[in-house]
A and B are shown apart, each in its own frame.
Chain A
Amino acid sequence: ETGVTQTPRHLVMGMTNKKSLKCEQHLGHNAMYWYKQSAKKPLELMFVYNFKEQTENNSVPSRFSPECPNSSHLFLHLHTLQPEDSALYLCASSIGTALSTDTQYFGPGTRLTVL
């Protein structure tokens, strides 16, 4: 257990559905991240939040909409997804956003399948 939980662990959705992924960290961290892990590509950073403020949007399509209501919770709202969006979505948290000193702790991921 890394102290970062994600729900659901598996999700199957159609292209017209709307769903949300949830991440919660119990580590007292201030920064949270969404990553996408596809079968054919290296792990990609999607969004970064620091003290609830979005500090990074890595050119992610608008069909992915993040929300960070507080430093412990992070959501990823999904709508009108494409089959190529099928992937493992990983959440991470860290004390701060300086990777030189702040270690990221990852959740187990949500395996998303878009039909």
Chain B
Amino acid sequence: AQKVTQAQTEISVVEKEDVTLDCVYETRDTTYYLFWYKQPPSGELVFLIRRNSFDEQNEISGRYSWNFQKSTSSFNFTITASQVVDSAVYFCALSEPSYNNNDMRFGAGTRLTVKP
């Protein structure tokens, strides 16, 4: 069963629009970690955020914000006032330490294109 679902395969917006990338996860653990990574055209995955299951506070970092809701098993990512440099593939991932502390289960990714 897929542990992390990113239902949006591709999103295209115009610069300065706000955009939300959805992530829904599945776990039976009470302790788990959620991540977002950005993969620009250069290829490397860039870490954006880690959130543990006990911290449901929303987080804001500049134009980026994350909304973690355990009730709906979602960890959505919003980019405010998007820019062309935000164009990338964004991955959500889940780590379940009781299952395997080494492994992250990645979603399929959402390709975001920001047009000027």
Contacts and interface: CB of A to CB of B under 8 A. Distances in A.
Q: Do A and B bind each other?
A: yes
Interface of A: 2, 4, 41-43, 45, 48, 55-56, 58, 88, 90, 92, 97-100, 103-109, 111
Given A42-B106, A42-B107, A43-B91, A98 B44 contact: no
Contacts of A92: 45
B33 interface: yes
A109 B43 contact: yes
Contacts of A56: 100, 102-103
B46 A45 contact: no
Contacts of B107: 42
A43 B106 CA distance: 6
Given A42-B2, A107-B43, 9 more contacts: A42-B105, A43-B93, A56-B103, A90-B45, A92-B45, A97-B101, A99-B101, A106-B44, A108-B42
Given A42-B106, A42-B107, A100-B95, A108 B43 contact: yes
Contacts, number: 64
Contact of B44 (A2, A55, A99, A111): A2
Contacts of A100: 33, 52, 95, 97, 101
30 contacts: A2-B46, A4-B44, A41-B108, A42-B2, A42-B4, A42-B107, A43-B91, A43-B93, A43-B106, A48-B102, A55-B102, A56-B100, A88-B43, A90-B43, A97-B101, A98-B101, A99-B97, A99-B101, A99-B102, A99-B104, A100-B95, A100-B97, A100-B101, A105-B47, A106-B37, A106-B44, A106-B45, A107-B44, A108-B43, A109-B43
